[in-house]
Structure formats: structure tokens, C-alpha cells
Amino acid sequence: MNLNALKKLLVGSPLATAQSRHERLTKTSALAVFSSDALSSVAYATEEILLILVLAGTVAFQYSIPIGVAIAVLIAVVVSSYRQTIRAYPQGGGSYIVTKDNLGTLPGVISGGALLIDYVLTVAVSVAAGVAALTSAVPWLYPYRIVLGVGFVALVTLANLRGIRESGKLFTLPTYLFIFGFAFFILYGLVRWTFGWDAEALAARPANPASQDLTLFLVLRAFASGCAALTGVEAVSDGVPAFKPPEARNARVVLAWLGVILISLFMGITFLARHYGVSPVPEETIVSQLARKIFGEGLVYYALQASTMLILVLAANTAFADFPRLSFFLARDGFLPRQFGSRGDRLVFSNGILILGGTAALLLVVFGGSTHRLIPLYAVGVFLSFTLSQASMVRRWLVRRERGWRWRWWVNAVGAATTGLVVLVITVTKFTHGAWVVVLLIPLLVMMFLAIHRHYADVAGQLSLEGYTMPPPMQHTVLVLVGDLHKGVIHALQYAQTLSPSVKGVYVELDPDRTRRLEEKWIKWSMGVPLVVLSSPYRSLLQPFLEYLNHLLALGDNHMVTIVIPEFVTAHWWQHLLHNQTAFLIKGTLLFRKNVVVTDVPYHLR
Amino acid sequence: MNLNALKKLLVGSPLATAQSRHERLTKTSALAVFSSDALSSVAYATEEILLILVLAGTVAFQYSIPIGVAIAVLIAVVVSSYRQTIRAYPQGGGSYIVTKDNLGTLPGVISGGALLIDYVLTVAVSVAAGVAALTSAVPWLYPYRIVLGVGFVALVTLANLRGIRESGKLFTLPTYLFIFGFAFFILYGLVRWTFGWDAEALAARPANPASQDLTLFLVLRAFASGCAALTGVEAVSDGVPAFKPPEARNARVVLAWLGVILISLFMGITFLARHYGVSPVPEETIVSQLARKIFGEGLVYYALQASTMLILVLAANTAFADFPRLSFFLARDGFLPRQFGSRGDRLVFSNGILILGGTAALLLVVFGGSTHRLIPLYAVGVFLSFTLSQASMVRRWLVRRERGWRWRWWVNAVGAATTGLVVLVITVTKFTHGAWVVVLLIPLLVMMFLAIHRHYADVAGQLSLEGYTMPPPMQHTVLVLVGDLHKGVIHALQYAQTLSPSVKGVYVELDPDRTRRLEEKWIKWSMGVPLVVLSSPYRSLLQPFLEYLNHLLALGDNHMVTIVIPEFVTAHWWQHLLHNQTAFLIKGTLLFRKNVVVTDVPYHLR
């Protein structure tokens, strides 16, 4: 069919199960693969802090450095905490699994739901920020930012439906380009600032008027926005089995590196933004403004913007691996529909990928493709799952009391307490700006998970063969619904005769003259099948038939009735509208009747 | 079911076929029943003439009287012509039947299509004008005119779905109220004008500036708009069998009366409008302005507006009898889907009524509930069917040459020629203003009629038992699709065993471990049914199964394969989404496969 050809063109030919292979990553590749999500937030985290502070006027920017330091400390705490998780879960310690393991099902699915939401937001926020990097460099694209965002999402979705198996190769170049590019950018900027080479630029500082008071609440809200920098830090601990052995050790090293790089880049940009006195504007990102001031509008500037855009798209891409994988775990445990548990013919979890892409694109449209408007929804889920995951570790050390558990317990306890506090800060300060959506959505998702789980468990119980005794053989009546006698009906009668020796034709009489004509033909063509004629005083085809059917079904719970309906298959779709109305009506009416099977026997017209 | 209860509440309980009865109308009732459509146009025809003339400034209003006279003559011609049709078709001479009878199928269905379109417009125009009568009297309702219009259409639709059997009673009072009310209105207005009692009002004449030149084309366009006055004149000749005997004679008398009344009222309003110097404005109708000037804003004024509104709604109601009846004739002859040929349980042609109501409501919304914007589409269809119907009579007299045929021939020939000329004038002058829609729609409808007719004829030929020899008995294989082994599958297996002694279970293997577990259970529970295991290197459930199916179907054209799929019926709709995906997929794929029957065996979950 044409649809199949299109799918093949877009998504590629099916891959055999045997083609599934596992790539083992060196530390260098692993850093590239697992850090893009976390590092890419450097592109917007500083800006989001300033966007809140600016509400209290330019003067409030002095708080950006302390807030930056607080976030850097937070990164260090979370990274240390996750290094413990890696040690305990060398087979991969995703928050859902770790939490379910140690705290039980309910905290587990809460963590799962929170993460699913955050993966969707990762895609939306990263793509929005990537588009912002692009439109900062190419301003005439700014009006098309929503279309561009949806286009990026579509592209990444498609790439993932094909299956991106060359992940190491794909990630290495852009990630290291970004890391070294930004390192150079920051160092060069610091040198220029130290020697006062940009004195002129530094002199011309924008003065934004204050629209709000500079309160502790506002500073905390700025901190909460900056916490977006931490999203994606958990990726390494999820992916331990992908490392070359010794897996856990390598993963711990890579995570430490990730922490160091993330802190350096984030603090560097925050420091430069403070001292170059840039102020957020809708049309151009802070990073772009800084790069323009430091490098001028040359090749280096454009290369920096391009690498920013690239790593942001890669970050979005990361969620396309995480979301379907988590959905798979949830489906395997019966919290999501089974469709999420099966791989498509390209070996990827197509349903999860499609749902993630669709929801993220929808978010981009609803929020006008603006990073800033999406941020209040972001990070709530991630920090909730951080907290649950660290709390799980706390409990685990307590229960197992392995060698050296005391100080590990302390690391995780500090991690859990800190991230728990952050959840509170984020939720409270961003609640009215959009966080309420997530606060509402997480319990709704959890309720859905539990309802699905209960349903599957209930069905499994109902279907179980444990202690089941085979019911006695069925009684069976076959009725052929007859409106007229023609080749299609004879075809259906012949078919019905192969089903049962006791077939009956049923005809609803609307006009006695037609009945007489039918009965004359019937004698000749019916192959001995008896004809039941039902009268219909109200011209309803359905009512008399239903009464007859009820009468048959009353014979016993063991009695099945098969209703054979001759149906036309026409050459063109519109011709279908000219036939089969009765068949359609009867199928609709009897869809949920117990002990009734409706069988269409297609008769093919030329 | 709830839907049935709602239907019963709105539409009423079913009526038995035996309850169908035929009311015979006296001349007085018949005039009431058949004239509302034609007479109601008095409410807007004059206004539509002025609305065109005003484009050339108030001075152009002098042409309203000559145009009115031309239309009066046209009415006389058409009435005389239709009196001949009544004589020839005492059993009811609808244009479709008369034309098909005398000129052949193609002209017949052209006439039918044209009339169907005009019936829809009758509803839309009449309701829009009725709402205008209401909002002229109650100006604060003016902004709600679209909602009011759609509401009226819904009401009339519902009334007709219930079945309006008391037609004589229903029509008599409002129609005669309208006739006598307007007669009094016009006479009193003439008296006041003659004696110069309204000298003041007459002095204050509005002067509209000209926006176009006063050309012959504009005058013809005004005439074309006024021709809306003639729609509905054909109703009497369609309904001859409803008269008391002698039917034809009584009908001819009533038609003559209708002509006289229509001409008098229409000319009266046109004359008063000219001499009271009223000018069309969007918010108030001409008739309302006149009545206000002549009677002042008292009880008489409101009664007049109410009776105008009432007769316009009745006129819309007329189309609700005509449209379904014509659809029935077209469906009976195979030009429309069979659904239009059957009466609903209230003895009415529900499908035709619903389509008419829906389309008319849509038109009201699209055209902003404005009579004036609908008028350019109106009357094209009616005059086309007038012309075809009169031309049919011309041919009939020529062929039959009955006594006195010569002068009757002349009457119809003049009728055909005149109405034909009017079709031309209407089409040309209103083409760019909307008539093009109808000019396009009529051939499209005709093409649809013919395609449907060809299809039904073709199918009848394919199904005919003429010279048919019974095919040999069928071979039959029954496959039960197995994903797991549980009570639902056992239910399906038991059912399948009643269908055939040679049932096979088919299982697509995705994971060899699961196959092993299934096979162990199978031995215990399968009641001797063999299990076919198909391997699936690409994890597709469908592909291996389709290959196996093709292999079976290749056994011969006489070989049927029944695929039994155990399907769950869940307690809640959302639970359905958690199951049955495979069943759905397979049904979708095999829907149009020859010699394949897909049978769902429902298993009811609590």
C-alpha cells in the first residue's frame, strides 16, 4: 500500500531483531552522549535568572553571581549524590526503578510520572532555546520561530523513528565543539575583561526600570529558574550499562567530569553576563549578545551560535531516548498501555517517540515557542525525581548497611534534603507562573498509571486459568440476515452452511408483496435453508430482529448466536455509502451483546 | 439506551404503518396549505427590487412599478401554464416527474436537482426573512439574527421529524390571517394615500446617492431579484391528489385564486413602497417601515409583523414536505442513495428532513442570516424547473394531440418561452453575485445522480440470479489468532470449534521463551486444536500472519478463511484502549481481502 511505501521512505525498512546491537562507550564518547542535555542548559540558564531579576530593575543583577554560586553548589551536591547511585546500581539506576525498588510502587510511579513530564519539557525547552540561538544570529527568522521549533521537533522525531544507532559518533563532535568553543569563549572574555579591552562596550550599560520590588521571593524565583541548569544530570546514572568495563567506575569518573564542566561553563557565562552588563531582550539571547560583544559579528560568533543550536537539538534528542525507555519500563510493569512495551520494526519504541514528539510540538505552539514561558513548568519534575531517587538511596544504605555506608548515607541524605528543598522553592515561586500545571498533572498521571495497573491486574485475574474448569461445549445458531435474494446473499448462505448445519435466513417484512416475491425465489435458491419472516409494524428493520435474537439468547448462557451479514465491498469508497447501511446499523447495535458474534461476509463487486 | 430515550422525547414514539392516513383538503384549506410559500414572498420581493434599484440612487425607484407589472404578468403566465399541467396530471405533476415523463431522464434529473437546491434556499430565505420581520419589530434582537434563524430551522426540522399530520389545521389560520391582514394593510394604505392623510411622512423622502449608473442591466437585475415572488407557485400542481374530488378542477380553481391574491398583494406593497417613498435599510424591512408609517407603532403593526413572520416560517415548512418527497422519488428511481427512500419510525422521510435542515442552517450561517445575500442564489433553480416542466407540457400536447390541444399548447409554449427567458435573465444578471454557485451546483448534482444510478444498475446486474449456476460448496479453514492462553482465548477456541472441525491456532513468535510457556499451557487447554507457530524476524505481528494467510488462500478461489480473534469487551470505554490493538490492526488490514472473514469473538470482562 501507499502508506507503507511512505513509511518506508521516511522511516526506513524494517530491521531484524538480530540486528539489535549494543555499543559500549569509552569515557570520551560517554561524556559526549550523556552530557548534552545537562550542558546545553548553559545556553539559557543564566538568561532565565536575569529575566526574573530584571523585574526589579538592572540593579538586581548583582544577585546573579550569588544565585549562580548557589546553583553551582547544588550541581556539586547532586553529582556527588548520583555518584553513589551509580555505585549501587551498576545495571543502570533510573529514578523510577531505584525509587520503586526502595520506597515502593507509589513513590516509584510518582517519580516516573514526574520524569515523563520533564522529558516532554526538555524537548520543548531545548528546541525553543535552539531556535532562539538561531534567530539571534539570523534575526529575520525570528517571526518564524514557532514553525522552526515544530520543524526541529519533527526532524528529531523522524530521526528517532528511523533509529539513531550511531549515537557515539553522532554526539562526539557537536558536544566537544560546544565544550571547547564555550571554554574558549569564556576564557577569552575573561582576558578581555581583565585587561579592559571592551571598556567602551562595558560603559554603555542598559538601565532597566524596576516593575517589582527586589524581595527574597524574587531572588528565590530567579534561583528556581536557574535550576533548569541541572536537568539532564541524571543521564549518566541511567546509562551505566552502556559504558566499557569497569562500567560503574567509568561512569563515576564521567559524572564527575560532567559536574566540573557544567559548573565552569555556567559560572563563566553568568560571570561574563554580569560584568558585560548585558540585559535580556526578547529577540536576542544573552549568550548571543555576549558573543557579539566579545568576538564581534564574525565567523567565530556564528560558529558559537551554530554549536549552541546543535547541542540544544542534541539535548532534545536525548529525551527521545529517555521518554520511550521509561514508558517501556512503565508499560512492562503494567502502568501504561501495552503498546508502549513493544518495539517498532526499526527496533525503536515508536509509540513513545510519537507521543513525545507530538506533545512537545503542541507545547511549543501553545507557549509561542518561547523558552522563557516554558521555564516555569520545567525542572519541577526533575527535582521531584532527584529527591525521590536520593531518598531511595538513603533508605537503601540504612537497610543494607554495606561497608562504608555511613558517609554514603550522609552524601545522599544531603542530596535528598537539598533537592527536596529546591522542589519546594521551585513549586512555590513558580506556582502561579505555570508550575501549577505540572503540580496538577503529576497526580493525574499517577492516578492514570494506577488505574491502568488495577485494570490489567483485574483482567489478568479474570482471565487466569488457575482452577478453571473447561465450560461445556457451546450450542450454536447461525442466522443469515436477508434483505433480498441475490448472488451476495447466496454467497453468505453458502458460507453460513460451512459454519453450522442448522442455518436460518431471517427476513424483516416491511411490505407483504416483497415477501411473496422473495419467498418464490427462496424456494429455488436457498439450498434448503429455512427462512424466518418477521413482521415489522413500525417499519423498523432492527426492532423485530432484536426481539427474535433475545428469544434465541434466552435459550441459555451457553448458547451462541452468529449473525451473518452479506456485505458489499465496492470498487470505490463513495459507493460504499450507497450500501451496507443495515449491516452498519446492526453491528453498531450488537457490538457489546454477550454471546453474539456478528460476521460480515464480504461480497466483492467489480 | 439513552440515545433512544432522547430521540423518543424529541421526536415521539414510533408510529405504525397502519396509522398513515390521507387527509383530503377542501378548497379553502388547500389554498392555505399550498399558498404559504408563494404568498410569503410578498414579505421580501418588493424590498429586493428596491435594494438593486437603490444602487442607482433613489431616483431609480420610479422603475419599481414597471418591474412590478412585469412580474405580475409573469405570475399570470406561469399560473395559466400550470393550470394546464394540473389538467394533464391529476395524480400530481411535480416537475421532476412531468419532465422525466415527456423529455426523458436527463432533463428530468436536471429539473430534480434544480428543485432540490431551491427547496434548501426556500428554507434559508424564508427563515431569514421571517427573522427580519421579527427583528424589525424588536430591534434589540437584530444582533442575534443568525442564532434566531438557526433556531427556527431547528424547530421546523424537529416538528417535521415528529411528522406534521394536521397540516390543514396548522396552515389555515396563519395563512388567512396573512392574506386578510395584508389586504387590509394595503387597502387602508391606499385610502390614506388617496386622501393625503400621511402628507408629512410622504414629504420626508430619503435621498440615497447613486453608486452605479442606471442601466438596462441594473433594471433587469432588479427584475431578476423580484422573481423570487414566483417561487412556490408550483406547489398546487404537485399536490393535486390531496384535494377533495373533483381534484383537478378544485386545484385549478385554487391555483387561479392563488395567482390573483399573489398579484394583488405583491403589487399593493410595491405601489405603497413607491408612493410612501420608503428606502431599504439593513435593520428594518420595507414592509415594517410601511406598516409603521400607515398604522403607527401599535397593536396592528405588531400583529402584521407577527403574521408575516408566521407565514414565512410556514413557507420554510413547505419545503420540508417537498424536499423529502422529491428525494424519495429520486431514490426510488435510483438517483439518490436508498436511505432517502425509506420512512422513519414516525412515518416521515427522516433523512431528507435532516439533510434539508442541516444545509439550510449552514446557508444561514455562511450568508450571515441575510435575505438579501441569499437572494442571488434563489429562483434560478425554480425557473429552470418551471421551464423544463412547461416545455414538457408543450411536447406532451404535440405528441398526444388531445381535444383542444392547440390553445393549450400555446399557453404552455408562452409559459416555457417566458420562464426560459427569465432563467437567462436571472442567471446573467445575478451570476457574479452568487448565481454562479447554483449554475455550478446543478450539473454537479446531476452528475452525482447519474453516477449513483449507474452504480446501482451495475450492482443489480452483478448480483442478478438470471442464468446463475450455484457455485460448488465452499472449503473452509478457521484460524484462531492466539497471543496468550487465557479464558478469553479458550472461549474463542470453543466458538471456533462449533464453526469447523478443522480449527488451527496461530501464534506469531516474538520471543522463544514465551512460545515455550505457551506451548506447555496449550497441551493442557487446547482441546486438541493444533497450534501453528510463525516466526517473526522483524517483530511484526502482522507480516508473518499475512504470509501464512496468503499461502492458505492460494489453495483456490473456493477456499474461505475465517479468522477468529478473541476480543475483550471492557466495562468502561477507556479500558478498551488498553486491549484489542492487534484485533483492530488485523481487521483494518484484512477489511477488503477476498475470501477472508474476520470474526471477533467478544469476551466480556466485568
How much is the average pLDDT of B565-594?
Answer: 78
> In percent, how much of chain B has pLDDT > 90?
37
Quick one: which of A244, A325, A314, A181 has its CA closest to A29? A244
Contact B487 A456 (CB under 8 A): no
Q: For the beta carbon of residue B525, count every other beta carbon within 10 angstroms.
A: 16
Contact A465 B486 (CB under 8 A): yes
Report residue B457 as a C-alpha cell.
Answer: 444498475
Q: What is the pLDDT of residues B48-99, one digit of tens each?
A: 999 999 898 888 888 999 999 999 999 998 898 888 888 888 887 788 988 9
Res. A580 pLDDT band, cuts 50 70 90: low
Using CA coordinates, name the residue in chain B closest to A598: B599
- The answer to whether the peptide bond before residue A443 is cis (omega within 30 degrees of 0) is no
- The answer to whether residue B160 scores a pLDDT higher than 90 is no
Report residue B109 as a C-alpha cell.
Answer: 434529473
Contact B568 A602 (CB under 8 A): no
- The answer to whether residue B203 scores a pLDDT higher than 70 is no
Contact B605 A462 (CB under 8 A): yes
- Taking CB atoms and an 8 Å cutoff, what residues of chain B touch A15? 538
Q: Which residues contact A215 (CB under 8 A, 6 or more apart)?
A: A56
Contact A459 B337 (CB under 8 A): no
Distance (Å) from the alpha carbon of B255 to chain A's nearest alpha carbon? 36
Res. B570 pLDDT band, cuts 50 70 90: confident
- Taking CB atoms and an 8 Å cutoff, what residues of chain B touch A347? 539
Burial class of residue A489, CB neighbours in 10 A (0-12, 13-18, 19+): buried
Phi/psi-derived region of residue A368, left when phi > 0, alpha when psi is between -120 and 50, beta in every other case: left
B503 in helix, strand or coil? strand
Residue from the list B339, B494, B597 with its beta carbon closest to the beta carbon of A495: B597
d(CA A77, CA A414): 7
> Which of A283-287, A289-293, B20-24, B312-316 is the least confident region?
B20-24
Distance (Å) from the alpha carbon of A506 to chain B's nearest alpha carbon? 19
Report residue B597 as a C-alpha cell.
Answer: 472473514
Quote the Cα angle for A314-A153-A223, to 5°.
60
d(CA A355, CA A123): 12
Quick one: which of A462, A544, A167 has its CA closest to B489? A462
- Taking CB atoms and an 8 Å cutoff, what residues of chain A touch B465? 485-487, 490, 521, 525
pLDDT (0 to 100) of residue B11: 60
- The answer to whether residue B135 scores a pLDDT higher than 50 is yes
- Taking CB atoms and an 8 Å cutoff, what residues of chain B touch A605? 458-459, 462
- The answer to whether residue B605 scores a pLDDT higher than 80 is yes
Q: DSSP state, B281?
A: B
For residue B131, CA distances in Å to A33, B170, B177 come to 69, 20, 18
pLDDT (0 to 100) of residue A415: 87
pLDDT (0 to 100) of residue B345: 54
Using CA coordinates, name the residue in chain A closest to B345: A538
Report residue A397 as a C-alpha cell.
Answer: 544504605
b/e code A436-473 from CB counts within 10 Å (16+ = b): eebeebbeebbeebeebbebbeebeeebeeeeeeeeee
Contact A606 B462 (CB under 8 A): yes
Res. B1 pLDDT band, cuts 50 70 90: very low
d(CA B339, CA B565): 32
Half-sphere exposure of B7 (CA within 13 A, CB side): 11
Report residue B247 as a C-alpha cell.
Answer: 381534484
Quote the Cα angle for B307-B313-B316, to 5°.
145
Sign of CA dihedral B211, B217, B220, B221: negative
Distance (Å) from the alpha carbon of B394 to chain A's nearest alpha carbon? 36
Report residue B399 as a C-alpha cell.
Answer: 405528441
Q: What are phi and psi of A87, to 5 degrees?
A: -60, -40
Q: Which residues contact A43 (CB under 8 A, 6 or more apart)?
A: A129, A130, A133, A285, A287, A308, A311, A312
Half-sphere exposure of A197 (CA within 13 A, CB side): 12
How much is the average pLDDT of B363-377?
Answer: 89
Residue from the list A343, A575, A600 with its beta carbon closest to the beta carbon of B539: A343
Ranges of beta strands (E only) in B54-155 are none
User: Residue B508: what residue type?
Assistant: V
Contact A596 B581 (CB under 8 A): no
How much is the average pLDDT of A19-26?
Answer: 64
Using CA coordinates, name the residue in chain A closest to B540: A345
d(CA B508, CA A561): 29
**H or E element that contains B152:** helix B145-162
pLDDT (0 to 100) of residue B407: 85
Quick one: which of A318, A267, A255 has its CA closest to A81? A255
- The answer to whether residue A7 scores a pLDDT higher than 70 is no
User: Residue B62: what residue type?
Assistant: Q
d(CA B231, CA B383): 8
Quick one: which of A221, A222, A151, A119 has its CA closest to A369? A151
Contact B602 A581 (CB under 8 A): no
Residue with cell 452498519: A584
Residues facing residue A533 across a β-bridge = A507
How much is the average pLDDT of A81-97?
Answer: 85
Contact B578 A18 (CB under 8 A): no
How much is the average pLDDT of A426-452?
Answer: 91
CB A263 within 8 A of CB A72: yes
How much is the average pLDDT of B436-454?
Answer: 92
Quick one: which of A259, A179, A252 has its CA closest to A27? A252
Q: Quote the crossing angle between the two packed helices B435-463 and B380-400, to the nearest 10°.
A: 60
Side by side, which strands form the sheet with A596-604? A531-535, A503-509, A475-482, A559-569, A596-604
CB A236 within 8 A of CB A86: yes
Contact A525 B459 (CB under 8 A): no
pLDDT (0 to 100) of residue A1: 43
pLDDT (0 to 100) of residue B233: 86
- The answer to whether residue B449 scores a pLDDT higher than 90 is yes
- The answer to whether residue B23 scores a pLDDT higher than 90 is no
Quick one: which of B104, B82, B105, B106 has its CA closest to B94? B82
How much is the average pLDDT of B310-333?
Answer: 89
How much is the average pLDDT of B229-234?
Answer: 87
d(CA A118, CA A382): 6
Res. A4 pLDDT band, cuts 50 70 90: low
Ranges of beta strands (E only) in A510-584 are 531-535, 559-569
B320 in helix, strand or coil? helix
Residue from the list A465, A474, A593 with its beta carbon closest to the beta carbon of B495: A474
pLDDT (0 to 100) of residue A537: 78
Res. B125 pLDDT band, cuts 50 70 90: very high
- The answer to whether residue B441 scores a pLDDT higher than 90 is yes
Residue from the list B500, B525, B597 with its beta carbon closest to the beta carbon of A465: B525
- The answer to whether residue B248 scores a pLDDT higher than 90 is no
Report residue B122 as a C-alpha cell.
Answer: 426556500
Q: DSSP state, A13?
A: S
Q: DSSP state, B171?
A: H
**Prediction ipTM score:** 0.74
How much is the average pLDDT of B560-569?
Answer: 88
Q: Quote the crossing angle between the two packed helices A286-295 and A247-275, to the nearest 10°.
A: 70
- Taking CB atoms and an 8 Å cutoff, what residues of chain B touch A16? 537-538
d(CA B524, CA A469): 11
Distance (Å) from the alpha carbon of A86 to chain B's nearest alpha carbon? 31
Q: For the beta carbon of residue A529, count every other beta carbon within 10 angstroms.
A: 18
Q: What is the pLDDT of residues A481-529, one digit of tens each?
A: 888 888 888 999 999 998 888 899 999 888 888 899 999 889 888 888 9
How much is the average pLDDT of A130-141?
Answer: 93
Using CA coordinates, name the residue in chain B closest to A335: B578
d(CA A253, CA A78): 15
**H or E element that contains B568:** strand B559-569
Q: What is the pTM of this model?
A: 0.71
- Taking CB atoms and an 8 Å cutoff, what residues of chain A touch B600? 597-598
Contact A578 B606 (CB under 8 A): no
Q: What is the pLDDT of residues A256-282, one digit of tens each?
A: 999 999 999 999 999 999 888 888 888
User: Residue A71: what residue type?
Assistant: I
Contact A486 B464 (CB under 8 A): yes
Q: Which of B449, B458, B463, B560 to mutate to test the interface with A (most CBs of A within 10 A)?
A: B463
pLDDT (0 to 100) of residue A23: 62
Q: What is the pLDDT of residues A370-418, one digit of tens each?
A: 888 898 898 888 899 999 999 998 999 988 888 888 888 888 898 889 8
What mean pLDDT value characterizes chain B?
Answer: 86
pLDDT (0 to 100) of residue A246: 86
Q: Which residues contact A299 (CB under 8 A, 6 or more apart)?
A: none
Q: What is the pLDDT of residues A461-479, one digit of tens each?
A: 888 888 888 888 888 899 9
DSSP state letters, A250-291: HHHHHHHHHHHHHHHHHHHHHHHHHHTT---BTTB-HHHHHH
d(CA A5, CA A13): 10
Q: DSSP state, B544?
A: H
Quick one: which of B321, B571, B360 has its CA closest to A592? B571
Name the pairing type of β-strands A475-482 and A559-569.
parallel
B556 in helix, strand or coil? coil
Report which listed range, A340-354, A554-568, B302-316, is most confident.
B302-316
pLDDT (0 to 100) of residue B8: 64
- Taking CB atoms and an 8 Å cutoff, what residues of chain B touch A343? 539
> Helices H, strands E: what count in chain B?
24, 5
Using CA coordinates, name the residue in chain B closest to A334: B578
pLDDT (0 to 100) of residue B507: 92
- Taking CB atoms and an 8 Å cutoff, what residues of chain B touch A592? 569, 602
d(CA B376, CA B356): 19
Contact B499 A495 (CB under 8 A): no
Report residue B202 as a C-alpha cell.
Answer: 410622504
Contact B14 A540 (CB under 8 A): yes
Comparing B25 with A97, the larger pLDDT belongs to A97
pLDDT (0 to 100) of residue A213: 83
Q: What are phi and psi of A570, to 5 degrees?
A: -95, 165
How much is the average pLDDT of B107-111?
Answer: 93
- Taking CB atoms and an 8 Å cutoff, what residues of chain A touch B525? 465, 470
Residue from the list B495, B562, B568 with its beta carbon closest to the beta carbon of A560: B495
- The answer to whether residue B472 scores a pLDDT higher than 60 is yes
